[in-house]
Structure 1
């Protein structure tokens, strides 16, 4: 992979040099020019300009209005921003675009402000409403699915159980997915379809919760849930998953992302994404990280820095622990006040053994493959850092850019280790909004909650970092990501860790140029510079000029991929780019995909 990086970088330098030294001539007239509003470049030497000219999907000129208008030809389209702000397209530091499509096609079980579910009765009512509107889909795939419930936001402060979901259907399997993605609940037919009963043992790195009779109560944790989900989705087929991909890619585009990530895939889902990309239907780039514990040979054969039909395999994904808000993240100390039936001193558990972590890290380093690792609790981060430190001694100087995903409860000494080991932190400041109050009161307590997602510690050391949404854990709402990173305001209005705040420009870099660097794509994306791809997002206002408390009110007006509009807020962009809340439209498309698949059999 190192050889590929060298040739790719040389090609980018050659292209950039050619564009910079070529004299202006008729062939250098722009296809389009954007003027009439602030252009935020993310380039320190020229952070804000008046206009951008684009030719052939790349940036031709950046500068004053007069400078870019020099590139106007007879066929150049002039786009008046009308005071709105143009920025580089957002680069997804971590998300799950395929499962994000599932979220878009499922019953919305999120709590306010992203949904309306406040208690278990409301959850059941929402599921029943989805069934009424999507009865054909439920019958066709033999599954009723809901996404986004969160016991911390339910009035009962408990997970629903199988008996609750049996009220939705006693014949069709029902599965509801926790907002973290690390838990799920099945009804009785769902448990039967997944092959889970009183005699089923807990898998490694997972737990089947049980009732007083010893039988499964429907709640599955971590690997127990992932295994069941695979069985339940067996009837959806490749065409159904392609519908997920289209819905997910469209959802990402609607929030201004021009590069999406599928942050934990199998070889099968990777090939489905590739097949969909080959149809020329993707509005955005997708970089995929298959699970390193599933098929390493496939990853080694597939990894590349070059996109093929807007899809590439960027490296491998390792998952060490689970969900902090669900008390399955591995801590280095007991949880503060966990809600539920937990033994004294409970500190969570690992989803991977130390031997697996060492093996995965050593393999990635030996094969020059980027490894991104999910580690939420301090204990999980200790496991990762120890493995990387040992592997680094054997191969110093290589540029692999290993990534820590989440790191919710990082200690300050662990941030020092990230810096020393050249590990890129992709953090999750949206936790301060969605679960900040929960972390303060139950997971880590009021003192340590101040330092979750410690962007202040990271920047004080001069480190780059990425911020993410981890969709479908939350919607891929770019302005919510920006707001949470800058304000750290919780749902209740509390400010969690004011010392960990960063300024707006820094927060924007963590959504653009720094995650582009994370993906080895800084020569192509992440800033508005001559020669780079014309990947842009147009916002309703300039984020550097509004009150920081109103950042979450900014709107994505257009998303532009390589000079072409792939999303418009008025609905005239790419037809797959459905804004949040249009599940009925996507549901119909999903059903059509399944019907088309059936007609081909």
Structure 2
């Protein structure tokens, strides 16, 4: 069946008897012809939706909505597909998603083909050959998304492994978590890292038996090398990232995206795209509170300006659970690598830094999103929130826990008491569930990673996220993981932590809309709200849970405007994901721009 985004033919059986209506009640467009899930408990499903001036005019049965049809009303035929409110990004990095799209794809199946060190090397070599002009001009090879947990060798590649790709050019690869990576010998040389180098606070330089850097760099040690090697993202590069990332989010049905660790330059890049070519979706930015307080204070707003606004503050306490850099309250179960006995990870900031940042946000009434993965990090966050609330009360700023991968049940209770909104990462059950079971927390505690069951037992709302570019912003993978908790190997982690499909959909729509103070505007299909919709290939409440990840985003509608439409017959889930896949010239120009040494403020470097 040919799927038309805007069918202008009359639905004879539905609208032939429609009556004239006064002009202010005439719809610009009427959506009908398939299941419509409103995510409104008062009216969960409807047959048709009328829209005027980018907002929802009416919802209801077909004969009710027929009264809003006039001579100029366009009819959008769903052709049996399912319409829902557009997805709201509970946590991701829209602008930095461009890095994922414009480097060698080192992801493991199903999103890539890297399964061992050899395939990683060949992928980098092939990418360099296919992008020879870009490599020649940038004099660098970069890859994103390797995961030691998915490599046959169950270890990080080393500088020697990357030297086999190139000894002359710097080669740097970024772990899928984004919290660590590997540099070849040439890249280490350029960065000035030697056997006598000391790691910066909050970072680790891994070494071989002779004390020489083995190429693996963690947290701030990695960030302080990555940014100079990328030449510092200048305005042109950031603008290209913003363009690529926002289009990638729209491709997966997100009508509101988040730039979850931002800076003034990143916000200005978003604004530049918005004022020139226009952004396809809304983007809420949260600049780093340790580095951008003046900018935050001058720019926080609940109102979008050309689809961009600054929502509040971002703070990061610890690192990556799968990379063993998250701060636990106990030793890691069986960490892979050279770790001392009793190793439990580490914090990236001090308790004084944390308390000062939380106090500042509470004193000013600003929302704060806090990256906290391990139980030890949550202990720090809970303590800081308790002090801030005793000192400043509750300013109604809806503080957000980001990730909470490893949580004790008493910590979930504390977050409820403190009014914290959990934005959790159930996709970990798919991507790293087996790794957590076997290495990070062990088979018992792995059952409770991303504990949505504990959260719902306490009647708490929560959001689910993808944290792209850590993972693709694949909304259907998010949905499937939240409902099934099935791992790559087929195991199910914590059946008691699973939730039903409708709860999982709320965690992608109305609840993250509440998280962003936008529940009156977005997150459900109700009269007066913005006409943000996503159209799926099938009804997620009607298919088998195990098939949820196979659903396709066919159309994304922002403010009654189609901003993404899948090509006929193309499976959108696990194909090559670069927005520039059909524009190699643009990709080449962009890569060239990245590495030209353009200056930009960088919080990681400024802090160290």
Q: Deviations over 1:397-417 (max 9, x none)?
A: 421000000001111000000
TM-score, scaled to structure 1: 0.92
Change (3 A) 1:195 1:28: farther
Secondary structure of the corresponding residue to residue 231 of structure 2: helix
Q: 1:171 to 1:583 in 2, by over 3 A?
A: farther
CA distance, structure 2, for counterparts of residue 108 and residue 67 of structure 1: 50
* Preserved contact between residue 116 and residue 152 of structure 2 (Cα < 8 Å): yes
Query: Residue 243 of structure 1 contacts residue 590 of structure 1 at CA under 8 Å; is this kept in 2?
Result: no
Aligned to 2:368: 371
CA distance in 1, matches of 2:411, 2:114: 37
**Residues 158 and 388 of structure 1: CA distance in aligned 2, closer, same or farther (over 3 Å):** same
The residue number in structure 2 matching 1:213 is: 210
Spell out the pairing of 1:136-155 with structure 2 (5 A cutoff).
136-155=133-152
CA spacing shift, 1:595–1:435, aligned 2, 3 Å? closer
Q: For residues 211 and 429 of structure 2, what CA distance do their matches in structure 1 show?
A: 37
**2:605 corresponding residue in structure 1:** none
Larger deviation: 298-307 or 559-568? 298-307
Q: CA-to-partner distance for each residue in 1:476-520, whole Å, 9 max, x for gaps?
A: 000000000000111111111000010000000000000000011
What does residue 412 of structure 1 align with? 409
Further displaced range: 214-223 or 558-567: 214-223
* Structure 1 pair 595–427 and aligned structure 2 pair: CA distance change class (3 A): closer
Q: Which string of whole-angstrom CA distances, capped at 9 and with x for unpartnered residues, describes residues 251-305 of structure 1? A: 1111000111111122222222222222143111111111111121111111111
The count of aligned residue pairs is 574
Q: Does the aligned pair in 1 maintain the 2:134–2:592 contact within 8 Å?
A: no
TM-score scaled by length of structure 2? 0.91
Asked if the contact 2:237/2:593 (under 8 Å) is kept, the reply is no
Instruction: Give 2:459's match in structure 1, choosing from 454, 462, 470.
Output: 462
1:293 to 275, 290, 294: 290
Q: CA deviation at 1:593?
A: 4.6
CA distance in 1, matches of 2:26, 2:151: 58
**CA deviation map 1:338-391 (0-9, x unaligned):** 111111111010011111110110011011111000000000001001000110
- Among candidates 545, 556, 560, match of residue 557 of structure 2: 560
Q: 2:498 aligns with which of 497, 501, 510?
A: 501
Q: Corresponding residue for 1:547?
A: 544
Shift of 1:24: 5.7
Inter-partner Cα distance in structure 1 for 2:137 and 2:490 = 44
| 1:302 maps onto 2:299 in alignment | yes
1:510 paired with 2:531, answer no
State the 1:174 CA deviation: 1.5
Q: Unpaired segments of 5 or more residues in structure 2?
A: 1-19, 599-608
Question: 1:415 & 1:236 partners in 2: Cα distance?
Answer: 38
Contact persistence 1:109–1:146 (CA under 8 A): yes
Of 23-32 and 318-327, more deviation after overlay is shown by: 23-32
Residues 560-601 of structure 1: CA deviation (Å, up to 9, x unaligned): 01001011111799xxxx9725653354323245679999x9
Please state how far the C-alpha of 1:154 moved relative to its aligned partner.
0.3
Q: Does the 8 A contact of 1:142 with 1:235 survive in 2?
A: no
1:1-39 deviation per Cα after TM superposition (whole angstroms, max 9, x unaligned):
xxxxxxxxxxxxxxxxxxxxxx96213211111001111
Residue of structure 2 equivalent to 1:108: 105
What is the match of residue 337 of structure 1? 334
Listed as ranges, the gaps of 5+ residues in structure 1 are: 1-22
In 1, Cα distance between equivalents of 2:506 and 2:274: 28
Distance 1:183 1:155 in 2: 19
* 8 A contact 1:251–1:579 mirrored in 2: no
**Partner residue of 1:444?**
441
Aligned to 1:159: 156
Deviation at 1:73, TM superposition (A): 1.4
**Residue 240 (structure 1) shift:** 2.0
SS in structure 2 at match of 1:68: helix
- Report the Cα distance in structure 2 between the residues aligned to 1:397 and 1:411, rounded to whole angstroms: 24
Instruction: Please say which of residues 264-273 and 556-565 is displaced more in the overlay.
Output: 264-273
Query: 2:336 and 2:502 mapped to 1: Cα distance?
Result: 38
Alignment-derived partner of residue 604 in structure 2: none
Q: Distance in 2 between matches of 1:53 and 1:302?
A: 35
